[in-house]
A and B are shown apart, each in its own frame.
Chain A
Amino acid sequence: MFGYYLDLALRSLRRNKMLTALMVLAIALGIGASMTTLTVLHVLSGDPLPGKSGTLFYPQLDPQDMDGYEPGKEPPRQVTWIDGMNLLHAQRGDRQALMTGGAVPVQPTQSGMDPFYSDARYTTGDFFAMFQVPFLYGRGWSASDDEGKARVVVITRTLNDKLFAGKDSTGQTLRLSDTAFRIVGVLDSWRPNPHFYDVNMGNYAASEDVFVPLATARELRMDRNGSMDCWGSGGGDEEHLETATCVWLQFWVQLDSPAKAAAYKDYLVHYSQEQKSLGRFERPVNVRLPNLMEWLDINKVVPGDVRLQTWLALGFLLVCLVNTVGLMLAKFLRRAGELGVRRALGASKREVFMQLLVEAGVIGLAGGIGGLLLAFLGLWLVRRQPSDYASLAHLDVSMLLITFLLAVGASLLAGLLPAWRACQITPALQLKSQ
């Protein structure tokens, strides 16, 4: 029966090519636009560390003075050196890391290579294990390297390819801002999206190329990048950042169970109270402990333009569907005579309904294929844009599946009303008017 309906549908679609083309085109455009923007949204709002993100937390404290105090306001989004170091040394989490971003001049010893600047991350040793960073060669550095301000560095595969032609470079020397560093590890390709651990560096920036122990970077006064907020007498003076009343570091902690997370929050409250009694903190205790995904929400990492485009595309799809409903309605009702004959010859309402839905489904399938091609084109256009997330815009299997379900589902939905209306035809009336 399905084959027969399909045959009928194809015949009917062939009979009025313009109308068919218009319906397919409308669905294809709507689906293409929606899938392009949904894919971008899907990529941008994804989980950077699936399976792990639930155990990663970003503690927020409020160490500011009473100037400009408003109850209930969000605490600063970074920590001071003192608080960061206190939390780090307390070792209350399963793992923890304190970090900031920067840029370092790389001075290759290889002849014929000019010095260049690389983005860098100054961090403590747990960074690699906590964020599950894959290593190609070697490993990260130890807590004693952090304490001893060791001149060690971890570089990415990209930089290793550039400087050492991809060979295992661990143990070799790399000159960074006039200081010799020993390479202890080379990362394999790693690009978490979004760049969650420091959203000041561009939400979808590529990972840094150079990783240096935080204490080492501070001792050598390596260039620091990112945001810094100061209050009171605090100035952003690079020499005295360790004691300044400024927040400029990111602190991450891994807490493997909800109980540990709750305990950690209690610890933060306790810590704030202690600092307040010491006179360092002035404001009422205000601590937060968002996990990774919550932290991304707080920072609104998905660009407003992308969300706006998604809504626009969905609105566009809606208009295309309404359009298709209208055209299908016209088409089905026009065939009242034919349907009347079928009904008179014994086809039940149900069968006529099915027949018309098959026709709607065929249109949906054609529209879906067209929409998929348009989505590929759209994503190709997105990738040619200058934004830092452009290169991420690719269709994955789940989005591919959703495209087809959306297309066929949408056109079946669009076919429901026209098909139902066409079933209501009284066969006798139609036959009489013949």
Chain B
Amino acid sequence: MLQIKPILVALKRHKAGTLLIALQIALTLAIVCNALFIIQQRLDRIARPTGLDETNLLTIQNRWVGVDDEKTGSLVRADVQAIRELPGVEDAISINSYPLRGGGWLTGVRTNPDAKKSETHTTQYFVDDHALATMGVKLVAGRNFRSDEITEIDPKAVVSAPQIIVTKTLADKLFPDGSALGKVVYVDDGTQPSTIIGIVERLGGPWNSTWSDTFLDNAVLEPYQLTGGGTSYMIRSKPGQLAAVTRSVPEALYKLNRMRVIPSERGVRTYDVVRSQAYKSDRGMAILMGVVCLVLLGITAAGIVGLTSFWVGQRRKQIGVRRALGATQRDILSYFLTENLLIGIGGVVVGALLAIGMNLWLVTQFEMARLSLLYVLAGVVALLLLGQGAVLAPAMRASRVPPVEATRSV
């Protein structure tokens, strides 16, 4: 039988130390729970799929210098043609933006042209009939654009195209009964009707911050090629040839003409790089939180070891007396483990409340969700186990105190 009562009596004589350990456990629990929760949220963000087949994908930023806007159309066409003919290139397109690029077109969509407010927001990608193949996006209903539907257009004159392809998320949002294919919608807050001719499984927006979370997977593909200052190229290489293509495409572009700037920073990026740069701060935050958690747990464990060791040292004589009176080594061991468990329980009860309170405060201050109780539970178990683990070494030492200690003075 656990000797809880004598333990409580003994703890009363060490109020300050007991309270300090409990407080430390409580604070650690509160911080670790919230930190783990933040880590999980960040990892979820980082793992969000874009809908692209991200391997073998290359992106290039191109800006024209000294070219009249009207003349850029033919230059872009020549570029895309040249890229597609390069060895190692599977397909390529010119596009205004792409998922995780960090800047693109945002507009409203309505099913009723007279509605004052748009039903949801979406990004617009202006592409040609090679887009689905280049991006590796899966068409789940309808058809792709035909090459005769592609038109060149001045970005200032864009009105939504007669035929558009939308993502499944957007289609379901606008037509919850799943009947989106063939329906007419109004993009761009205009009155120009656009017929949905195809639905793709998934395609993310160009943003990655929290403000775009509610419409992240809404995208409209329109059969336009924009003229004007600059464009992005997306290039799919043949398997295993990405590195070679990364070198050969910029060279080929500069060989075509030098009226362009491909920025040295972020000008040529494989999609792996795009992804890791887009989520760099989220990953950094997750790592930081992880390190802080580990160090905190380490310090708390060390604190428990230190204080329990001290208590063991202080009570050698009493332990000796108990041993002399017939207590086994196991009894002594379980005494210290139980004592720690009691303190730990006190700490985690306060800590759980603190964790929830801290989360409620964080929700008001930062863009954060409510803490799931699962994290609190996991934290409670982890801290109790940590306490038991930390107390094990001093408790073992206590259990090895010989009964003869009772007869010695300190």
**Chain A residues proximal to chain B, CB less than 8 Å:** 19, 22, 26, 29, 33, 67, 105, 107, 114-117, 178, 223, 237-239, 304-305, 307-309, 312-313, 315-316, 318-320, 322-323, 325-327, 329-331, 333-334, 337, 385-387, 417, 421, 433-434
Contacts and interface: CB of A to CB of B under 8 A. Distances in A.
B306 interface: yes
Given A26-B302, A308-B38, 18 more contacts: A105-B63, A105-B65, A115-B65, A117-B261, A223-B229, A238-B156, A305-B281, A307-B365, A307-B366, A308-B366, A309-B285, A312-B35, A316-B295, A316-B296, A326-B24, A327-B303, A385-B281, A387-B281
B17 interface: yes
B83 interface: no
B332 interface: no
A325 B20 contact: yes
Nearest to A67: B116
Classify chain B: how many residues form its interface, as a range: 35 or more
A311 to B, nearest CB: 8
Contact of B66 (A26, A178, A239, A308): A178
Contact of A331 (B116, B258, B300, B310): B310
A68 B248 CA distance: 52
B313 A334 contact: yes
Interface string B177-196: 00000000000000000000
Nearest to B18: A326
A157 B127 CA distance: 41
A329 B16 contact: yes
A85 B280 CA distance: 41
Given A19-B306, A115-B65, A323-B299, A329 B17 contact: yes
B289 interface: yes
A97 to B, nearest CB: 26
Nearest to A386: B280
A22 B296 contact: no
B281 A326 contact: no
Contacts of B28: 319
A105 B31 contact: no
A304 B296 CA distance: 22
25 contacts: A22-B306, A26-B303, A107-B65, A114-B261, A115-B66, A115-B261, A178-B66, A238-B156, A305-B281, A305-B285, A315-B31, A316-B31, A322-B24, A323-B302, A323-B303, A326-B24, A326-B303, A329-B17, A329-B307, A385-B284, A386-B277, A386-B281, A387-B281, A417-B16, A421-B16
A313 B292 CA distance: 8
Contacts of A67: 116
Nearest to B304: A326
A330 B23 contact: no
Interface string B399-410: 000000000011
A260 to B, nearest CB: 36
Contact of B24 (A115, A323, A386): A323
B148 interface: no
A271 B365 CA distance: 37
B31 A330 contact: no
Contacts of A334: 310, 313-314
A331 B17 CA distance: 11
A29 B310 contact: no
Nearest to A319: B27
Given A307-B366, A320-B299, A323-B299, A330 B288 contact: no
Nearest to A420: B16
Contacts of B307: 326-327, 329-330
Nearest to A320: B299
Given A117-B261, A305-B285, A326 B367 contact: no
A33 B24 contact: no
Nearest to B277: A386
B398 interface: no
A312 B292 contact: yes
Contacts of A115: 65-66, 261
